[in-house]
Amino acid sequence: MSRRVWGFLVMLALSLLLGVGAGQFFFGIWEKTVPPAMTTSFNTGSAHAAYLGSGAVVGVVFFVWGLVSPLIALMFRPKRAA
């Protein structure tokens, strides 16, 4: 595999790690905020899955943003004088 493919794979893995980590962090906030008497194990499990799933989506958004932003930056480069 070329260096470019490896770079994309590393960027995807780090973006997903960042997104899932954010989901886990916000689940921890949810878990500390909601009183245990008000939740069931089903609610806790489904909330955890929802936070991790939305964190994975955020990771994919970070990855796409990382791919698109250099292309957009090229449009704003000053043109060379002829």
For residue 81, being part of any structural domain is answered with: no
State pLDDT tens for residues 18-74. Answer: 999 999 999 999 999 999 889 999 999 999 999 999 999 999 999 999 999 988 988
pTM exceeding 0.85: no
Residue 82 lies in a domain: no
Residue 80 lies in a domain: no
Number of domains in the chain: 1
Helix/strand number for the chain, H first, E second: 2, 0
pLDDT of residue 82: 63
69 located within any domain: yes
Q: What is the pLDDT of residue 25?
A: 97
Q: Is residue 41 part of a domain?
A: yes
Put residue 27 in one of left, alpha, beta given phi > 0 → left and psi -120 to 50 → alpha: alpha
Q: What local confidence, expressed as pLDDT, does residue 77 receive? A: 84
pLDDT tens profile 19-29: 999 999 999 99
Per the structure, the complete domain to which residue 59 belongs is given by 3-75
